[in-house]
Amino acid sequence: MLLTTSLSLTIIHFLLFILCISAVLFYCYGIYAAFAFFHHPHLGKLNFHPPVTILKPICGKDDETYNNLVSFCQQKYPNYQIVFCVRDPLDCGIPVVKQIIHEFPELDIELVVCEDIIGTNPKVSNLANAITKAKHEILVIADSDIRVGIDYLQRVIQPLQDKSVGVVTCLYRSVAKGWVTILEGIGTGTDFHAGVLVSNSLEGIKFAFGSTIVIRKEVLDEIGGFGAIADYLADDFQLGYLPTQADYKVVLSDYIVDHVLASSTIADSIQRQIRWARCIRVSRPWGYLGLIFTYGTVTSLLLLMATGGSRIGCAVLATTWVMRLVMGWVVGVSYLQDSCVRNFFWIVPLRDVIAFVIWCCGLFGSTIEWRGRRLKQTKGGKLVEITDDFAKVLSS
């Protein structure tokens, strides 16, 4: 019995040690990937200025909505149209859009209010209603909580000079309010984007972010239009993934936008992050499982406890944490210039522990709560609304 117990502990120690080493290697490569990406000359002369239509889906508003939307109206770009789209005729964001239209009469701005639905994802239905008013071949889609500088359009459009590029997308830095959203922002700036940069370095990216999706109409039509993604929660992922299946490239722009996080409760934040986790697991199952090799903060803590505070446990923890913090600083502060990360860098270990718990929760379950609706994700990632009849079938 003692021999069996001793052998079991040895195996656990070994597995935890391997997970720590893999995490350290990930952190080292994350530093390299960030350096390689941001020091690579992405753009030449900014002499490509095709006409562009910006699609802005709106659902509600907060204190920052006006400033976010106005930033897209201040572009130093010769010819662009903005189509704001709203599904609910009583949406509180409509007065904000009307105010902007009044303040920028020289711009080609249109407001589309339409309740038509083409699938389970209301944002995609909103975009499908808006594209009917798009005048130009190149579309720029950005969520309403994104804020940009005046050179945004001219920078993110340039990669489309290459006809093999189907989609351009952007990293983002967090503008957080309240400690709950600060925790989210810390994870995005020091961990999530590091993973994106590693993926970009190793194999290129095959997905996109709601922060910015630049896509040609012909590419969108080739993948089936918005109808092809209308039943997916991860519509941004699909708008990057499907074009790669049609042999187009997705390019990660070196332009970094601001993601303005509205204040949130801890319950809403955790529910939202578990929803994202389950969405990633369904969209990229092997990639999601592989994240276990990146949680060095937690696995080194577990190794330290499993070895009873041994010297090797302390050494592994110190090495792992140092490399984790170096990667977080390099990516989040040095390159993304994320003030949220800079000001609250000391809570990175706490954020890592929370992220690991959320990852564990994301391993199980397929139902999510989204805007007051209960939905179930199918194996392929599509959403099915859980009605009373459907719930009875599930429970039977």
The string of pLDDT tens digits covering residues 184-239 is 999 999 999 999 999 999 999 999 999 999 999 999 999 999 999 999 888 999 99
pLDDT of residue 148: 96
**Using H for helix, E for strand and C for coil, what is the string for the chain?**
CHHHHHHHHHHHHHHHHHHHHHHHHHHHHHHHHHHHHHCCCCCCCCCCCCCEEEEEEECCCCCCHHHHHHHCCCCCCCCEEEEEEECCCCCCCHHHHHHHHHHCCCCEEEEEECCCCCCCCHHHHHHHHHHHHCCCCEEEECCCCEECCCCHHHHHHHHHHCCCEEEEEEEEEEECCCHHHHHHHHHHHHHHHHHHHHHHHHHCCCCCECCEEEEEHHHHHHCCCHHHHCCECCHHHHHHHHHHHCCCEEEEEEEEEEEECCCCCHHHHHHHHHHHHHHHHHHCHHHHHHHHHHCHHHHHHHHHHHCCCCHHHHHHHHHHHHHHHHHHHHHHHHHCCCHHHHHCHHHHHHHHHHHHHHHHHHCCCCEEEECCEEEEECCCCEEEECCHHHHHHHHC
Tell me if 106 is assigned to some domain.
yes
The string of pLDDT tens digits covering residues 82-111 is 999 999 999 999 999 999 999 999 999 999
Tell me if 241 is assigned to some domain.
yes
Instruction: Kindly report which listed range (11-15, 209-213, 340-344, 352-356) carries the lowest average pLDDT score.
Output: 11-15
pLDDT of residue 371: 65
Tell me if 372 is assigned to some domain.
no
**CATH code, 165:** 3.90.550.10
Tell me if 305 is assigned to some domain.
no
Tell me if 373 is assigned to some domain.
no
Domain coverage including residue 120: 52-265
- The tally of domains found in the chain comes to 1
Tell me if 300 is assigned to some domain.
no
Tell me if 326 is assigned to some domain.
no
**Average pLDDT of every residue of the chain:** 89
pLDDT of residue 372: 65
Tell me if 151 is assigned to some domain.
yes
